[in-house]
Structure 1
Amino acid sequence: MNAIDLQNLDISYGDTKVVFDVNLAIPEGESFALVGESGSGKSTILRAIAGLAPDWTGSISVMGKPRSHHVDRAVSRQAQMVFQDPYGSLHPRKTIDAALSEPLAIHGIGNRGERVEAQLKAVGLDQRFRFRFPHQLSGGQRQRVAIARALMLEPKVLLLDEPTSALDVSVQAEILNLLKRLRREQGLTYLMVTHNLPVVSFLCDRLAVMRHGRIVEIADVAQLKAGQLREPYSQELLAATEGG
């Protein structure tokens, strides 16, 4: 089964169309990356899947369930998003316990204390962190909390919007290793947006290169590692990474 299926997907903000005719099938268990320049529509696709960009046409399915244009709890249970800025995505006046308990309360799920403790442990944080506030945590610890919050509903799909770009390089490696382990242990499917091709090489199986709201190429990571991307624009991205 495909974990994510996008067919003829167009997405607009007001009168401006920003994503054009995207077709993408991501099998269950795969880690897939969307890469391309800023403004190419990558994060907009994640937001549409998550229900945060409601002005779209075409079809979006998650774990075989078609997404509606309204609040869709069935899809929310299956697909959760991790944002770029871990500080901005956590309420500054809510404890970590409150932040992790909130999705459970919204969906009427019990055993909240046990579930919070289990997810903190899963992301490598001990119980000392449970009743702290976001400002008392480092950037890497905050992103671990954000990942734990995304996992509270036991989704099968994580939508990762540049999850390491706001972190120091040494901390980036820790978070990438955590994501790799969680995918293996929990059988997760990842759809990741990133500018960082080495991150794609480390964490992903395939990638789609986007430009001006369209997918211009889909490739295996083996092709990326071998420098064998086909499209001239894909080669430009690769050369810019290697030149940096």
Structure 2
Amino acid sequence: MSAISLRNLDISYGQTKVVTGVNIDVAEGESFALVGESGSGKSTVLKAIAGLAPDWTGEISVLGQPRGHKVDRAFAGQCQMVFQDPYASLHPRKTVDGVLSEPLMIHGLGNRSARVVEMLQAVGLDKRFRFRFPHQLSGGQRQRVAIARALMLEPKVMLLDEPTSALDVSVQAEILNLLKRLRREQGLTYLMVTHNLPVVSFMCDRMAVMNKGRVVEIAPASALHDGSFSDPYTQALYAASGGNPDRKEAP
């Protein structure tokens, strides 16, 4: 069974169609990237899956369940999203404890205190961070909290929208290593949006290349090692990245 299945997906903003005819299958446990230039429709695909871009046609399935056009509780327990900007995604007047407890309260789940401490530890934050406010955290610490919040309901699918692009270069590798470890330890499936091909090489198994709202090629991430792409746009994107973006460690 596919963790995520998209069939003939068209997405519009008002009268403007921004994504056309997307067909993608992401296997359970896979890390799959959507890559392309800014404005190619990558993040819009994630928003449609998450229920944040409701004007779409086609089919979206997550873990075998057809996706509706709105956010629902059952879906939230299966799939969560981590946003690009950790400075905008956390409520400035809520402590870390409040941010992490909120999903448990909404879903009527108990054992909240222990779960908050456990999840802080899972993302590499000491319990002394528990009652701090977002303005008292660095960008990397905020993104760790955002990842912890996404994991509070124990989803199996994570949508990652450029999760490191708003961070200082010095902490990007730390967050990527954290995501890679969490995927391994918790059996997660990732659908990641990024424009950074070294991140794809480090994090992902396969990639779909988008151009002007369409998927022009689906290829294994190993193609980044030798440039074995078939579509001219993908070849140009690869060349613009400087060729082989492979890394021994996180970019």
TM-score range, shorter chain: over 0.9
SS at match of 1:165: coil
Per the TM alignment, residue 18 of structure 1 is displaced from its structure 2 partner at its CA by: 0.5
| Correspondence for 1:153 | 153
The separation in 2 between residues aligned to 1:226 and 1:170, in whole angstroms, is 28
Equivalent residues in 2 for 1:119-198, closer than 5 Å: 119-198=119-198
Per the TM alignment, residue 79 of structure 1 is displaced from its structure 2 partner at its CA by: 0.7
SS at match of 1:29: coil
| Correspondence for 2:74 | 74
* 2:19 is equivalent to residue 19 of structure 1: yes
Whichever residue aligns with residue 152 of structure 1, its letter is M
Whichever residue aligns with residue 202 of structure 2, its letter is F
Give the TM-score of the pair, scaled to structure 1: 0.98
The separation in 2 between residues aligned to 1:172 and 1:226, in whole angstroms, is 25
The separation in 2 between residues aligned to 1:147 and 1:128, in whole angstroms, is 18
The separation in 1 between residues aligned to 2:179 and 2:5, in whole angstroms, is 22
SS at match of 2:47: helix
The separation in 1 between residues aligned to 2:139 and 2:71, in whole angstroms, is 30
The separation in 1 between residues aligned to 2:112 and 2:162, in whole angstroms, is 29
Render the CA deviation track for 1:77-98: whole Å, top value 9, x for unaligned: 1110000000100011100000
Give the TM-score of the pair, scaled to structure 2: 0.95
Render the CA deviation track for 1:179-227: whole Å, top value 9, x for unaligned: 0000000000000000100000000000000001000000001112211
| Correspondence for 2:88 | 88
Q: Specify every segment of 5 or more residues in structure 2 that has no aligned partner in the other structure, as ranges.
A: 246-251
SS at match of 1:242: coil
Render the CA deviation track for 1:122-179: whole Å, top value 9, x for unaligned: 0000100000000111110100000000000100011000000011112000000000
- % identical equivalent positions: 77
| Correspondence for 1:231 | 231
Per the TM alignment, residue 75 of structure 1 is displaced from its structure 2 partner at its CA by: 1.4
Superposed CA RMSD:
1.1
Q: Specify every segment of 5 or more residues in structure 1 that has no aligned partner in the other structure, as ranges.
A: none
